[in-house]
Amino acid sequence: MKIPKLKIFCDFDGTVTKKDVWVDALGRFIKDAKSFDNVCEDFSNGRITSRECIKRELNLVEDFDFKVFDTFIELQELDDYFLGFVNYCKDNNFEIFLLSEGLDYYIKYVLNKFNIDLPFYCNTLSTKEVEGSLKLSCDFPHSDEHCNSCGMSKRNILISNTNDFDKEISVFIGDGVSDFCVSHYADIVFAKHSLASYCWKNNITYYDYKDFADIKNKLIKLISKGQIKQRQNAKTLRKEVLFGG
């Protein structure tokens, strides 16, 4: 049986981790719950971009302390089957890339905690002291110069790390609003929650999953049946980005 050349691109918050770390850890420093809910609702409904959502939420953070923040991050758990999935991918030479609209600080913390060595792309936390307290802000090193919506362009990372000419096949795994755009460009999509709803409404073929055991088992089945292939529409869209900007 010939093993296809898969590139795995995976969301972090609520996908690799059981909870959304941004909300569960950083959100504890937001005291104005109503304003926080309004920002989340505006983002979910498409009224504001990812960048605007991130900036507004960081502006709501009060009395931030890294030591306290660390205690919240320490509580975070991985999907029960993620480490097994990583080993499966390594055994088959499938590269894994973590893509997140979250912040480098807590992603590094979680990866180090579980001794995970994977490339990741995300936004960068920065701080400054204002009147004796830390104020948080964010830089977007992986944004798209032609797009002001995404803070971290998951689409660009997927395209730049998938070689269509070498018949590499991109697999995207996600769950939320920040995964909507990239789902159009992946050959195989695993989706749950709002991403699954989006894919269904936009006629994007996807596979439901509950955890990484589901994903691993589905990939094994697809490979055994020779059903792993590039999605023509996604391939066309990737080509348009590469040659059309």
Q: What is the pLDDT of residues 157-215, one digit of tens each?
A: 999 999 998 999 999 999 999 999 999 999 999 999 999 999 999 999 999 999 999 99
Please calculate the CA angle 42-190-17 and round it to the nearest 5 degrees: 65
Q: What gap in Å lies between CA 189 and CA 196, rounded to an integer? A: 9
11 in the same domain as 29:
no
48 in the same domain as 131:
no
First to last CA, the chain: 38
Asked whether residue 26 is domain-assigned, the answer is: yes
Predicted pLDDT of residue 81: 98
51 in the same domain as 27:
yes
DSSP codes of every residue in 72-90: HHHT--B-TTHHHHHHHHH
Q: What gap in Å lies between CA 226 and CA 27, rounded to an integer? A: 44
User: 178 is in which domain, residue-wise?
Assistant: 6-19+79-244
pLDDT digits (tens, 9 = 90+) for 11-31: 999 999 999 999 999 999 999
Asked whether residue 153 is domain-assigned, the answer is: yes
Share of the chain above pLDDT 90, in %: 84
pTM score: 0.95
Q: What gap in Å lies between CA 9 and CA 218, rounded to an integer? A: 16
Q: Which residue has the higher pLDDT, 219 or 43?
A: 219
Give the number of domains in the chain.
2
Asked whether residue 216 is domain-assigned, the answer is: yes
148 in the same domain as 58:
no
C-alpha atoms less than 13 angstroms from C-alpha of 105 in its C-beta half-sphere: 17
226 in the same domain as 133:
yes
Which CATH number characterizes residue 164's domain?
3.40.50.1000
Predicted pLDDT of residue 245: 54
Q: What gap in Å lies between CA 174 and CA 15, rounded to an integer? A: 6
235 in the same domain as 172:
yes
218 in the same domain as 185:
yes
Q: Which residue has the higher pLDDT, 50 or 113?
A: 113
Q: Which residue has the tokens 């088959």?
A: 92
84 in the same domain as 204:
yes
122 in the same domain as 52:
no
Tell me the mean pLDDT in the region 139-167.
90
Q: What gap in Å lies between CA 44 and CA 103, rounded to an integer? A: 19
Domain stops at, among 34, 58, 74: 74
Asked whether residue 228 is domain-assigned, the answer is: yes
Asked whether residue 1 is domain-assigned, the answer is: no
91 in the same domain as 151:
yes
Q: What gap in Å lies between CA 45 and CA 23, rounded to an integer? A: 18
229 in the same domain as 204:
yes
Per-chain mean pLDDT for the chain: 94
66 in the same domain as 106:
no
Burial class (CB in 10 A: 0-12, 13-18, 19+), 69: buried
